[in-house]
Amino acid sequence: MANFNDNFDDSSEESFDEISEQSSAQAEETFVSKTQLKNEAKALVTFGQRLTTLPESTLRKLPLGEVTLKAVIEFHKQKGHIARKRHLGFIGKCLRNEVVDDIKACLDGDKFSQLRQNAINQSGSHQKATDEGSIKSESQSEDSAETVVASLLENGDQAVETLLQAFAGLNRQLLRQLLRNIKNAKSATKKQAAQVKLTHYLQENKVI
């Protein structure tokens, strides 16, 4: 009886090595693809969560399909953390059928993003200004501060979320508390003091 090892020549060994390498490469590609898909899915859920902070009137102006629009609007009807988390996953799946870049382009062009950019530009101009021009820049900075604060008070969570996305160093809880202090102030003096605290906080974080 012939020995099996005698028939297992060098060419067979090379073929076996090639197959092993191909299998390893395919396994690696599969792993990368799955990881990429997971990351994309998470990104869509995160973006969907951003959409849930927008008022319905704004949502209806975005290029959203009927199913996605309905899913986003009904998010706030969900009761409990688990139900909302599950619904966010559903919104993320709906967004797979949308042109997300077009939606983001619309959001980037809204008045809140423009306001944020103006504040950044004015702050940068103030830092680069000469002594003679610094008085004018300082005045612009004060106007920007008033405008940003007014927008936060008027538009609530929508403006807060826009600001948080632009300035990661901001504390969501503290920012909302400062806004509540202004809204709940029982006198003009206390309201002014609360606005000053909010303005200082925004200035410390280079928002304005």
pLDDT in tens, 9-27: 555 555 555 655 665 556 5
What is the percentage of the chain residues whose pLDDT exceeds 90? 12
Of residues 80 and 140, more confidence is placed in: 80
34, amino acid identity: K
**pLDDT tens digits, residue range 91-142?**
999 999 998 888 887 776 654 555 555 544 544 544 444 444 443 344 444 5
pLDDT of residue 57: 83
Contact between 208 and 122 under an 8 Å Cβ cutoff? The reply is yes
Contact between 75 and 104 under an 8 Å Cβ cutoff? The reply is no
**pLDDT tens digits, residue range 130-140?**
444 443 344 44
Alpha-carbon distances of 168 from 142, 161, 190, rounded to whole Å = 22, 10, 29
Alpha-carbon distances of 171 from 32, 49, 97, 175, 201, rounded to whole Å = 34, 18, 33, 6, 10
Whole-prediction pTM value?
A: 0.42
Contact between 112 and 125 under an 8 Å Cβ cutoff? The reply is no
pLDDT of residue 129: 45
47, amino acid identity: F
Contact between 152 and 179 under an 8 Å Cβ cutoff? The reply is yes
Residue 79 has pLDDT above 70, yes or no: yes
**CA separation for the pair 206, 170 (Å, rounded):** 10
**CA separation for the pair 157, 136 (Å, rounded):** 32
The architecture of the domain spanning 10-99 is: Orthogonal Bundle (1.10)
**pLDDT tens digits, residue range 149-159?**
877 887 777 77
Every domain of the chain and the residues it spans:
10-99, 111-204
Contact between 59 and 75 under an 8 Å Cβ cutoff? The reply is no
Which pairs with CB-CB distance under 8 Å and at least 24 residues apart come from 9-18? none
- What percent of the residues of the chain are helix, what percent strand, and what percent coil, each to the nearest 5? 80, 0, 20
Least confident of 12-26, 57-71, 101-115, 174-188: 12-26
The set of residues, in sequence order, having a beta carbon less than 8 Å from that of 105 and lying 6+ positions away, is none
pLDDT of residue 67: 94
